[in-house]
Chain A
Amino acid sequence: MATVEVSFTALPAHVRTARLVATAVARRSGVAEELLDEVRLAVGEACSRAVETHRAHCPAEPVRISLTSQDGRFEVEVTDTGPAPSAAGRPGGQVTGQPGLPPGFGTAVIEGLADDVEIRESAGWTSIRMSWPSAHAAERGKSGEPGQGQPAQAS
């Protein structure tokens, strides 16, 4: 079960909100301060990509993000609804690419930022799941106390 789940209308203005929420939950989940910029940027890239997809194919559908802290990892999954990238002729899972940059550039940035990235594609959706270590894992290892890696409650 996700610690926090967010869905937002596919508007560029809301991507900033998604970044702020993800960063706040990451901090609350014990992600190291020096990794928070990476979380912020990677989540922004994934959400920007999802917003582009929705605006092109299903603007009324919300973009969904789940933020989970479990087993010493902080995991973010951004899911869009739309035709499969291959069906739409969009290589690399990119909708149109950023003007001036090759298709798939945003996804490449995500892969450069998160040490664990999984991109899943299906006929009706694409999911980008990425994760970072959370400090709770190290604390649990040191203290031997169980439960430190359990999902934190949003506050």
Chain B
Amino acid sequence: MDLKLDHHSKDGIEIVDVEGEIDVYTAPRLRELLIELVNNGFYQLVVNMEKVEFLDSTGLGVLVGGLKRVRAHDGSLDLVCTQERILKIFRITGLTKVFGIHDSVDEAITARKAEK
């Protein structure tokens, strides 16, 4: 399955909905979207990965790159993911300590608001 990307604003935070497979072929599109959002002034991001079917290190690199970009503007990039197959790669790479990973978009927004 190819990669589908969409985004919308909710409570002042930009939600990026990702569906499909994030790999060496499709990850550049996600990278371009994250860069575009940051360039347009969106520094509070939540990437909803509930419909992601596959994620490899290329995809992780894109997410880490996005995190670095928003942090340069005192922003944030949180993730929404409950799928064990996706969470596993975050665990084995230690990136669970880098990203805030939440069970739902609402939970991610609430957590982000609470930190402000």
Contact = CB atoms under 8 A, between A and B. Distances in A.
Given A15-B25, A37-B85, A105-B61, A100 B68 contact: yes
A75 to B, nearest CB: 21
Nearest to A101: B61
A16 B21 contact: yes
A64 B25 CA distance: 18
B98 to A, nearest CB: 11
Interface in A2-32: 12-13, 15-16, 19
- Do most interface residues of chain B lie in helix, strand or loop, or is the interface mixed? helix
B93 A98 contact: no
A40 B110 CA distance: 35
- Do most interface residues of chain A lie in helix, strand or loop, or is the interface mixed? helix
Q: For this complex, into which size category does the number of interface residues on chain B fall?
A: 20 to 34
A112 interface: yes
Given A15-B25, A100-B68, A112-B92, A45 B56 contact: yes
Contact of A105 (B23, B57, B68): B57
A16 B57 contact: no
A106 interface: yes
A109 B85 contact: no
Nearest to A110: B57
Contacts of B63: 100
Contacts of A100: 60-65, 68
A129 B58 CA distance: 20
Contact of A44 (B23, B31, B62): B23
Interface in B28-71: 31, 54, 56-58, 60-65, 68
B69 to A, nearest CB: 9
A113 B89 CA distance: 9
10 contacts: A15-B23, A15-B25, A19-B54, A37-B85, A37-B88, A98-B57, A99-B65, A105-B61, A109-B57, A109-B92
Interface of A: 12-13, 15-16, 19, 37, 40-41, 44-45, 48, 51-52, 97-101, 105-106, 108-109, 112-113
